[in-house]
């Protein structure tokens, strides 16, 4: 596609691009949206700098990619239940989501797209890394690819949110877990997804395993599963599959959870960082 409404500049040879020439706080024409969607499908992660978005305009843009998800674990924005205010205060040590993962794979219909809008960023550090899971799958041996196509993985939050809720690990943190029937039901759930999923738009296959939420392979024990899960998770984030995205106030970055993983880098101790996140629901992985 030749772009008439946007300018696209790749930021690495494997994943990621910056898009300019468009103001996301204003209504987009169908033609401009189609160009953004095309660039997004090609690059998996796209950033728009200098976007003066309010919660309303960020939510409106995100809804063009599908219905938004209300997080079952983390307390949301006071006025907007679809939005998480992701904050690390200058005095806090732990950052939210501090590991390689794809968002909320414990859901039956995990997010297709995540949107993160920077409100306050540290003077240095606080970047986010992304990894191309198409390449993670395509660079495996033919023998392993054949075996992985047979496998399904069990996802839940027993190592993350569920454990934090049960041990009150979020006590004293700026961000808080919910304390209602929604989270009490969510921590008991397990879902099963294919280890290799086919993207519903591009038709390409992507590795779909992360160490945050994958507990074991279906029909395997956790002990049996662990070596292969560790290998796949290490392979999935090889440097040649990745890019690093920097932030400034007003930057909006969106990524495709169906074929990319991300990792926020917690290297800005002593400084405050605030981001507004919404996620668009995806399909049942197939």
| Beta carbons of 99 and 265 less than 8 angstroms apart | no
Give the torsion sign (CA, 42, 47, 50, 52): positive
Does 30 qualify as catalytic in the annotation? no
Catalytic residue, candidates 43, 103, 256, 273: 103
Catalytic residue, candidates 117, 155, 262, 273: 262
Q: List, in sequence order, every residue forming a beta bridge with 261; answer none if it has no partner.
A: 131
Catalytic residue, candidates 117, 197, 273, 277: 277
DSSP structural state of residue 201: T
Does 43 qualify as catalytic in the annotation? no
Q: Cα–Cα distances in Å, from 262 out to 168, 171, 181, 237, 244? A: 26, 26, 29, 9, 9
Does 103 qualify as catalytic in the annotation? yes
Quote the distance between the C-alpha of residue 230 and its chain's center.
20
Does 26 qualify as catalytic in the annotation? no
User: What are the tokens at 200?
Assistant: 């519903």
Give the torsion sign (CA, 66, 70, 75, 76): positive
Spatial strand order of the sheet with 7-10 comes to 7-10, 17-20, 45-48, 252-256, 111-120, 273-281, 84-88
Catalytic residue, candidates 101, 199, 263, 273: 101
> What 3-state DSSP class applies to 265?
coil
Quote the distance between the C-alpha of residue 161 and its chain's center.
16
Number of Cβ within 10 Å of residue 97's Cβ equals 17
Number of Cβ within 10 Å of residue 273's Cβ equals 23
Q: List, in sequence order, every residue forming a beta bridge with 245; answer none if it has no partner.
A: 128
Residues acting as catalytic residues:
101, 103, 262, 277
């Amino acid at each position: 596609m030749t772009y008439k409404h946007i300018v696209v500049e790749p930021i690495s040879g494997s994943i990621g691009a910056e898009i300019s020439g468009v103001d996301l706080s204003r209504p987009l024409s169908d033609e401009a949206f189609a160009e953004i969607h095309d660039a997004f499908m090609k690059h998996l992660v796209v950033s728009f700098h200098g976007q003066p978005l309010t919660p309303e305009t960020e939510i409106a843009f995100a809804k063009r990619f599908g219905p938004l998800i209300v997080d079952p674990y983390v307390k949301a924005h006071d006025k907007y239940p679809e939005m998480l205010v992701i904050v690390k205060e200058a005095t806090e040590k732990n950052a939210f989501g501090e590991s390689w993962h794809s968002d909320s794979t414990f859901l039956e219909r995990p997010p297709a797209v995540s949107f993160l809008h920077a409100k306050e960023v540290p003077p240095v550090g606080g970047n986010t890394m992304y990894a191309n899971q198409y390449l993670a799958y395509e660079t495996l041996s033919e023998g392993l690819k054949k075996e992985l196509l047979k496998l399904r993985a069990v996802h839940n939050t027993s190592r993350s949110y569920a454990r934090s809720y049960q041990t009150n690990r979020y006590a004293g943190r700026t961000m808080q877990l919910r304390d209602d029937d929604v989270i009490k039901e969510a921590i008991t759930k397990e879902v099963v997804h294919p280890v290799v999923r086919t993207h519903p738009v591009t038709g390409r296959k992507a590795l779909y395993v992360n160490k945050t939420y994958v507990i074991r392979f279906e029909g395997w024990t956790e002990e049996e599963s662990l070596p292969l899960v560790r290998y796949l998770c290490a392979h999935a984030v090889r440097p040649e599959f990745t890019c690093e995205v920097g932030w400034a106030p007003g930057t909006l970055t969106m990524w495709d959870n169906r074929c990319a993983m991300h990792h926020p880098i917690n290297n800005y101790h002593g400084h405050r960082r605030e981001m507004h996140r919404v996620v668009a629901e995806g399909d049942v992985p197939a």
